[in-house]
Chain A
Amino acid sequence: MSLSIISANRLRDGRTVWRTANGEWAEDVQAAGALDAQALALGLQAAALQPQTVVDVHEAAVTLAADGTPILTAQREQIRATGPSVRPDLPVSTWGATGAALPPLPSETSTSPFAGIYRYDDYDRQFLRDRAAQFGDQAARRLAGELSEDEFKPLRLMNGLYLQLHAYMLRVALPYGILSAAQLRQLAYVARHYDRGYGHFTTRQNIQFNWLRLEDAPAVLALLAEAGIHAIQTSGNCVRNVTTDEFAAAAADEIVDPRVYAEILRQWSTDHPEFTYLPRKFKIAITGSPQDRAAVRVHDIGIMARRNAQGEPVFQIFAGGGLGRIPVIAVKLRDELPVHDLLRYVEAILRVYNALGRRDNIHKARIKILIREMKPEHFIEMVENEFASLPADYCVLEADVVAAVAARFGAPAFETLEANPAAFSSALKDHRAFRAWVRTNTHPHRQPGYISAVISLKTPGSIPGDVKAEEMDKIADLADRFSFGELRVTHQQNLVLPHVRKADLHAFWSELVTLGLAAGNIGLVTDIIACPGMDYCALATARSIPVAQRIAERFAGPERQQEIGPLDLNISGCINACGHHHVGHIGLLGVDKSGTEVYQITLGGASDEKAAIGTIIGPAVPTEQVPETVEKIVNAYIANRTEGETFIDTYRRLGLAPFKEAVYGNH
């Protein structure tokens, strides 16, 4: 006889609960009553009548231990009952809300006045406060039964609040990945007082808190508003956080400042009356330089700045790229869109998509499927017709508008410095580890004497993208001291101090060494992009974090990583591809094969200007063999590479064969 128990998350705080034999909801899985098929049906019926108490009511298969206590069969349910396997220090328990008075907000004393964030005015601040209050009202109406869960869900998602395995998760927008030290302190405050002491930086340059209580969410949004931060449109079927190059307004090779256009797109898309209930989510990326550091060809709309024959900045427009179940490289719609037409053109694309995108099948609702089903030529024709029929004065981006938005960013007060100060040269000469770190973790700055520096959140053994509250505070101090109080989040889940004086770089690096954040691995094999996987995520089918940790540990030696050279290794814990596995030079996709986690391997993916979707190399390998298999692939590359040839170039020259042989051949 098959047995089940009934599980759910408690509505008000998201905590996992289990239904007992007498119909109570218990916090301990051991208290759950094991049910046969008939009792299960009755129990589910009864639970369905408690929508104001619990959400996501579902059954979970169990067997019985000798003493009669239920043992969960599925790994996902085991993780729900115990907590993330990668954080044994954080078992499932009731957390937060001790009732103690909280200390003053960091925003009361910390402002980072020189950071290059978009400066809000009174209207913007009031808007964020009102949005927080509005969500408080929506949550209250949900708790009171005025809104059904079906109606509330899109509203909470539009405010960044998901329900995950263990709790609600709040995804906070860091618009185009830029934040100030003061804002990072505010985030640390949330992590410390409303969550369980940490946050997770994501591939959309956002931050997620994993243990938010629904009843605390309005207060958290309100306090974030005081630092000019929000969670608007970080989820839901709307235009999401626009992403850009992490070296924006610092990189030497930039044509336009992409922050300005990303902010214009943010304001245009925020609460857009027409495009807030799209067929599916919608992601826009923009890069201001001809080198694509924002993966624009795998976005719903990708925008790339270039110069036309007259030397004026124009935009190349792509649409229909994306990862997920059906990875697609975007098609090009325009080669030289004038700057003043940017919003009009984006609006035309969205209008065609909103009218015609599929709504009958969630897996076929993205714009990439519409474009494929319509054929790109027809889609482009429709967009062009829509664009041509817009009123002439509608949504025109005049130069004075762009200039006024740009003026809100302020410019860092760069000093006139020597391009290569002696202190920097001698530090490079004297410190081998520093030299290696500079080689991988810095990027040229357009201002003489300055450099952009990347703080790796991928120290081998750590969880990619996770940062503790204390670390946030310390990184904020470093940003204030070394980079005008400004930081960036990269889509590879690292942090950047964009404007460091070269003469100070050694001092900065020494501080990172003290903090244990000086891994010199940016762009190398251990700089792994990984989604949270089944340890946190309700969609995941595999635990991606432990795999990332094992691979990073295997290649942890700095010399070994340097020897291998540039290599993007991306891991997703399910087909939705949040870990961008399709565009990793080596991509790993965790799937569940009759109850066992296995990993499918792809090679040859890329997200830069030579964007490509990786090719599956062969049958999936068991999880425990993944690190060793990656090593075989890497060794095959080293054996076959020519002088100075990178992994991806060797793959492009030789194709799959030598790697396939290394992984599956008889050795």
Chain B
Amino acid sequence: MAIINAQGREVADSWTTSEPDAAPAPYAIIPLADLPPAGEKLPAPLGVQLPPGAVLEDIAARLGSFALIAIEFPKFRDGRGFTLARTLRQKYGFKGEIRAVGHVIPDQFVALLRCGFSTLSTSPEHPAAQWHLPSATSPENPAHPGQLLHRLMNRGLAA
């Protein structure tokens, strides 16, 4: 499906989702369960797809080998992916692309960005046209300085 960037614009995408048992290739997103054991030589750039219950500690040492981390949302109400993304950015300092895949809705766009997602994969129910940022002057826009507490803490609340 179409990929949307943090500005809400559709972007070209070189990544492919890896088939089960396929050998890792550049620009493949491999499910966490299919990831070759640590130490094995991997092609680059490589992506990994995390289920919502992934334990980041288990792959902490290998995060540097991924250019992209996709995080699955089985249902939009399942908010574990927000914590995964934020922890990747904040605790592990992951600098690559973080992509939301699965069931997310346009009303979550700002929250996804604020947790550190950089792109998302759209669905037929919510095509690219439904995703757009609130206007730059709107308090909902991630660039807005925020309520008093956020302004005082200089967005020390953000990732």
Contacts and interface: CB of A to CB of B under 8 A. Distances in A.
Most buried by B among A123, A270, A393, A405: A123
Contacts of A377: none
Contacts, number: 100
Given A124-B147, A130-B140, A355 B80 contact: yes
B90 A391 contact: yes
B82 A267 contact: no
A389 interface: yes
Contacts of B105: 147, 151
A401 interface: yes
B115 interface: yes
B114 interface: yes
Contacts of A354: 79-80, 82-83
A311 interface: no
A351 interface: yes
A268 B148 CA distance: 10
B77 A268 contact: no
Interface string B76-93: 111110111011001100
B61 interface: no
Contacts of A278: 79
Given A123-B139, A273-B82, A401 B90 contact: no
A134 B140 contact: yes
B152 interface: yes
A123 B137 CA distance: 10
Given A126-B139, A270-B147, A276-B111, A355 B83 contact: yes
A271 B142 CA distance: 11
B77 A401 contact: no
B79 A154 contact: no
B72 to A, nearest CB: 13
Contact of B156 (A148, A355, A395): A395
B115 A274 contact: yes
Contacts of B130: 146
Contacts of A404: 148, 152
B150 interface: yes
B38 to A, nearest CB: 22
Given A274-B79, A355-B83, A268 B140 contact: no
B147 A396 contact: no
B149 A401 contact: yes
B148 A127 contact: no
Contacts of A151: 76, 105
A95 interface: no
A401 B139 contact: no
B113 to A, nearest CB: 8
Interface string B95-106: 000000000010
Contacts of A126: 139
Contacts of B22: none
B79 A405 contact: no
B7 to A, nearest CB: 17
Interface string A115-134: 00000010110110010001
A100 to B, nearest CB: 33
Interface residues of A, number: 44
A277 interface: yes
B111 A264 contact: no
A237 B80 CA distance: 13
A275 interface: yes
Interface string B42-82: 00000000000000000000000000000000001111101
A408 B111 contact: no
Interface string B107-137: 1101111110000000001000010001000
B147 A275 contact: no
A395 B147 contact: no
A264 B147 CA distance: 10
A111 interface: no
A274 B139 contact: no
Given A273-B115, A351-B87, A405 B156 contact: no
Contacts of B82: 273-277, 354
Interface string A143-172: 000111001001100000000000000000
Contacts of A154: 76-77
Complex A-B, nearest 9 residue pairs according to Cβ-Cβ distance, in ascending order: A277-B79, A273-B114, A273-B111, A267-B149, A127-B139, A274-B82, A401-B152, A354-B83, A267-B147
Interface of A: 121, 123-124, 126-127, 130, 134, 138, 146-148, 151, 154-155, 237, 264, 267-268, 270-271, 273-279, 343, 351, 354-355, 359, 389-391, 393-396, 400-401, 404-405, 408
19 contacts: A123-B139, A130-B140, A148-B125, A267-B147, A267-B149, A273-B115, A277-B79, A354-B79, A355-B83, A355-B84, A359-B78, A359-B80, A394-B90, A394-B157, A395-B157, A396-B156, A400-B152, A401-B149, A405-B152
Given A147-B105, A273-B111, A351-B83, 7 more contacts: A155-B107, A267-B147, A267-B150, A273-B82, A274-B83, A351-B86, A354-B79
